[in-house]
Chain A
Amino acid sequence: AQSVTQLDSQVPVFEEAPVELRCNYSSSVSVYLFWYVQYPNQGLQLLLKYLSGSTLVKGINGFEAEFNKSQTSFHLRKPSVHISDTAEYFCAVRSLIASKIIFGSGTRLSIRP
């Protein structure tokens, strides 16, 4: 079975500051990893995904994430945030052999002007 831990429930940052949202996963088999974003009163949309290959993955809106197998982490980063990045961010995992996706508890990113 897989599980995901998002270490921070809320992250406040100032506009134009860098941000890192932390995610650790647990799995006995190889996995795919995802970050989804949920804007207020909306569904989830994919930010980026790691399938294989390069451990640094670039996504939409200037976000990137780095897969670290030894630390079982997949942290999300952005060098300079904007007010429009205010949202909840979910890290997720699925195994290579099953299609169900398991989500973390989410991190609420709030941007201060």
Chain B
Amino acid sequence: DAEITQSPRHKITETGRQVTLACHQTWNHNNMFWYRQDLGHGLRLIHYSYGVQDTNKGEVSDGYSVSRSNTEDLPLTLESAASSQTSVYFCASSPGPRDTEAFFGQGTRLTVV
């Protein structure tokens, strides 16, 4: 079955380190998204992509970057991890502009110490 997978599921890193979270989908969806989930804030959009070589900033993009070199993957990089970036990160994908809902991965719990 087609799916969307995130790795790792759990990560502990130190302040100042660069961290990359992986997201891989096998649906051949054009759209991919990264969200962070924090208590009281719900899910907030970090970055998104509508296709290969396309990336866009979301509402909380500072300190994060993404690149889209193929359809299947949208890795999220924290350039210099900060304690404020301790969160649960969700990747999602959707087929295209005429389609509606997004499909979510299982999440990555990141702790910055």
Contact = CB atoms under 8 A, between A and B. Distances in A.
Contacts of A9: 40
Q: For B40, B45, B48, B102, which residue has the most chain A Cβ atoms within 10 angstroms?
A: B102
B42 A43 contact: no
A6 B40 CA distance: 11
B94 A99 contact: yes
B105 A102 contact: no
A32 B103 CA distance: 15
User: Interface size bucket, B side?
Assistant: 20 to 34
A43 B107 contact: yes
Nearest to A6: B42
Nearest to A43: B104
A45 B106 CA distance: 10
A100 B106 contact: no
24 contacts: A42-B106, A43-B106, A44-B90, A44-B92, A45-B104, A49-B101, A51-B100, A90-B43, A94-B100, A98-B97, A99-B48, A99-B94, A100-B33, A100-B48, A100-B58, A101-B33, A101-B45, A101-B102, A103-B35, A103-B43, A103-B44, A104-B42, A105-B40, A106-B43
A46 interface: yes
Given A43-B90, A43-B106, A106-B43, 6 more contacts: A6-B42, A42-B106, A43-B104, A51-B100, A103-B44, A105-B42
Interchain residue pairs A-B with the least CB separation, the first 7: A105-B42, A103-B43, A43-B104, A44-B104, A106-B42, A99-B31, A43-B106
Interface in A1-55: 6, 9, 32, 34, 36, 42-46, 49, 51
Q: For A42, A49, A102, which residue has the most chain B Cβ atoms within 10 angstroms?
A: A102
